Amino acid sequence: MSLDQEIQGLPVANGASADLAEKVAALNARFKHHSATSVMEGALRDAGNIALVSSFGAESVVLLHMAAIIDPATPVLFVDTELLFTETLVYQQEVSERLGLRNVQVIKAADIAEKDPYGALRFSDTDACCNLRKTVPLQKALSGFEGWITGRKRFQAGTRAALDFFEVEDGTGRIKINPLAHWAPEDVRAYMDENRLPRHPLVAKGYPSIGCAPCTSPVAEGEDPRAGRWRNQNKVECGIHVVDGKFVRTGA
């Protein structure tokens, strides 16, 4: 039975479709003991109109490789905040070509020149800067999709410790899919080694987690891998996840 058939087969109340939470619970129950590849394949082939959102960061190539094998025409949404490292922009093009990804969509905010003409917003309000450059344009890009795939993993932050394969995205009617939720750092490295996947060039320079250049710094040995993101700030997420129908800085 496909994911779509399983969802459609859930109990229906008062003539309406089953609650999204029930659908997600059924998906998590079905895939509880399945691999990340199985979750990806099921999502892309059976779960509707799904996009893969990728930062083309330190570990992004894993999901990009899985998508390329399953369906190279998978929509891949890449948000260019116009503050990214040059290395990330080059890596994005090289990986897309090497993997044969045919539907990479580069997303940019249309109003940066109006709202942040001098690029100084990050100094006064990093949340507002993330919202302008990443959160809002991604929200608009996702509006035409039924769900999206993320590269989030439980080990990355305390706010992700209970992450499931499938989640309800509050207020949007979309399903959020986290195929690598249960992976450990060594699983990521093993997959990349076994498939000879190219590393982001900044990883070798001490950047295990890569975002915008002004807000990302190298991480010293023994530090948390995400310690270089918004260093010395009370912030751990860029704000692309939804709580109570609003895009917020979850965990910040």
Residue 14 has pLDDT above 50, yes or no: no
Residue 84 one-letter amino acid: L
Q: Does the residue 42 lie in any domain?
A: yes
Q: What is the mean pLDDT of residues 11-21?
A: 47
What pLDDT, in 10s, does the model give residues 149-182? 998 887 655 545 568 888 888 778 888 999 998 8
Instruction: Take residue 98 and report the two structure tokens written for it.
Output: 């090497």
- Listed as own residue / partner, the contacts of 154-159 with beta carbons closer than 8 Å and 24 or more positions apart are 154/181, 154/182, 155/183, 155/184, 155/185, 156/209, 156/225, 156/226, 157/226, 157/236, 157/237, 157/251, 158/251, 159/236, 159/237, 159/250, 159/251
Q: Kindly report the CA angle at 157 between 192 and 234, in degrees rounded to 5?
A: 130
Other beta carbons within 10 angstroms of residue 182's beta carbon come to 17
Q: Three-state SS across 167-181?
A: EEECCCCEEEECCCC
What pLDDT, in 10s, does the model give residues 71-128? 999 999 999 999 999 999 999 999 999 999 999 999 999 999 999 999 999 999 999 9
Nearest in space to 30 (alpha carbons), one of 150, 225, 159, 22: 22
**Mean confidence (pLDDT) of the chain:** 83
What pLDDT, in 10s, does the model give residues 176-210? 999 998 898 899 999 999 999 999 999 999 999 99
Q: Does the residue 61 lie in any domain?
A: yes
Q: Does the residue 77 lie in any domain?
A: yes
Q: What is the pLDDT of residue 216?
A: 93
Instruction: Give dist(CA 170, CA 176) in Å, integer.
Output: 10
- Whether residue 69 contacts residue 52, with contact meaning beta carbons closer than 8 Å, is answered with no
Overall pTM > 0.85: no
- Catalytic residue list contains 212: no
Q: Does the residue 16 lie in any domain?
A: no
Nearest in space to 58 (alpha carbons), one of 189, 164, 160: 189
Q: What is the pLDDT of residue 28?
A: 85
Domain boundaries, position 240: 34-248
Type and span of the H or E element at 185: helix 185-194
More confident residue, 5 or 167: 167
Q: For 124-216, list the strands marked E by DSSP.
A: 147-149, 166-169, 174-177
Type and span of the H or E element at 242: strand 241-243
CATH number at residue 154: 3.40.50.620
Nearest in space to 64 (alpha carbons), one of 103, 96, 90: 96
From the list 129, 130, 215, 238, the catalytic residue is 238
Q: Does the residue 29 lie in any domain?
A: no
Q: Does the residue 7 lie in any domain?
A: no
Q: Does the residue 90 lie in any domain?
A: yes
How many percent of the chain have pLDDT more than 70?
81
Q: How many domains does the chain have?
A: 1
Q: Does the residue 21 lie in any domain?
A: no
